[in-house]
Amino acid sequence: MGYVPIFLIFLLAFLPALATAQNDAVVVTALRNPVNKSYKKMVEGEQLFNERREALAPRATLRFKLIPRKPDVSMDGVRLEVSSDSVDIPLKVEPDGTFTLKHDAKALKENARVVPNRKAGTMTWRADVRTPGLPPNVRRLGDLRMECEVGMESGLISDYPPGLFGWLDELLPRGPTYCHRDLPRYLYFAERPLWSVTLVDGERRKVLPVDRLYAGATRDPDWKDRIRYCDCEAIVDRTYFVPLGDANWPDDTLVVLEYM
Amino acid sequence: MKLFLASLALLSGCALPAFQSAERPLGPGEVRSAAEAQETLVVGETTKSDVRAALGPATTVDFASGYEVWVYRQPPVSPAPGAELVLLFDPGGVLAKMRVTPISDPA
């Protein structure tokens, strides 16, 4: 398999920044406003988690997570609500940026949005699936597989302007099946800048190539010209890909993160 | 330091064209042996200038934090897989971490 051009590397993480060149204040006026997400899609992501949990991550819990896109963005005081014409439901955001949804039939019917009180381009979104009992720098591959499927189902990383990457729409399925590819470019974020990522399955260990870190920047001499289109823009040193679709690595594989 | 640079130069793709003639020429950011290149580097001592002088230009990624990652790739020579030498420099330009990883599949 040949190397994929960098714009494919970013293809799933392509950025909300395209939709708003300026850091405009949050205004829920456009269907694809990059700062907010579809409540219905996120509920569908939860449903997928419940359906797939036994297979991928039987002991895990699901939360959603807001991740700062800039190093100096504080999560203090972040407020989040499910908002539609006649519904405003506040969601509690924990200090680590995670939250869960509240279910409301009226919000679903009115196609509500999940809206933070932050400017566009300051935060991005991911599913956060965690099996308890693991050290902070160790993830479980099944949890990450589930995060990808829920994230894709929920539309957390596909809010780039329609048409701009239309050819990508044809090239790649936009749903959870994308996560079943050997090397999907679904970006994960570590808590701190990464030095290495190692897969551990019993006695078998594999340090991932550096191209699986830093959003693939080591394969693209022009990465700085393109990084602004990635929701990893200012935290590229915390990003990594894992071989989600590689069945040689079972769900119980540990993904060990070593920080800089 | 001269001895250090000379030893690294022996490992560099751009410093020893006669040695390279038996195999395909190395491109920028490539070395014949990632493991041997690593053995000549010292965490906490070797600087970016040292490495650049000895191994030539690397593939680099610099971060807002001031840290930089440099990569030198060892091309595969059948049947042996390739490898990569990854270096982390701190904001002061001193080698902070390094590793050699065999590369048996594309990223």
The predicted complex's ipTM stands at 0.78
Rg for chain B, CA atoms, rounded: 13
Phi, psi of A15 (to 5 degrees): -90, 145
Q: How far is B99 from chain A (nearest CA, A)?
A: 9
Q: From residue B16, how far is each of B10, B11, B19 by CA, in Å? A: 6, 8, 6
Supply A103's token pair: 């279910």
**Minimal Cβ distance to A217: which of B61, B97, B99:** B61
B14 touches chain A (CB under 8 A): no
Residue A23 has pLDDT above 50, yes or no: no
Tell me the two tokens of residue B37.
Answer: 């290149």
With beta carbons under 8 A apart, name residues in chain A contacting B96. 260
* Complete edge-to-edge strand list for the sheet that includes strand A37-38: A37-38, A113-116, A80-83, A88-91
Q: Which of B61, B71, B106 sits opposite A3 (nearest CB)?
A: B106
Distance from C-alpha of B100 to C-alpha of A209, rounded to nearest angstrom = 10
Q: By a Cβ cutoff of 8 Å, what residues of chain A touch chain B? A: 1-3, 71, 183, 193, 195-196, 207-212, 214, 216-219, 221, 223, 234, 236-237, 241, 260
Question: Could you tell me what percent of chain A has a pLDDT over 70?
Answer: 79
Least confidently predicted of A41-50, B23-32, B54-63? B23-32
**Residue A215 confidence (pLDDT):** 87
What is the count of residue pairs from A and B with beta carbons less than 8 Å apart? 56
Give the CA distances from residue B89 to residues A21, B28, B52, in Å, rounded to whole numbers and listed in that order. Answer: 33, 19, 12
* Reported pTM: 0.79
**pLDDT, tens digit, 9 for 90 and up, residues B8-40:** 444 454 444 434 445 678 888 999 999 999 999
Cβ within 8 Å, pair B61-A214: yes
Among residues A152, A161, A157, A168, the alpha carbon closest in space to that of A245 is found at: A152
- Residue in A193, A210, A216 nearest the CB of B67: A193
Chain A CB contacts of B106 under 8 Å are 1-3, 183, 211
pLDDT for res A16: 38
Query: How does pLDDT run across B65-78, given as a tens digit for each residue?
Result: 999 999 999 998 88
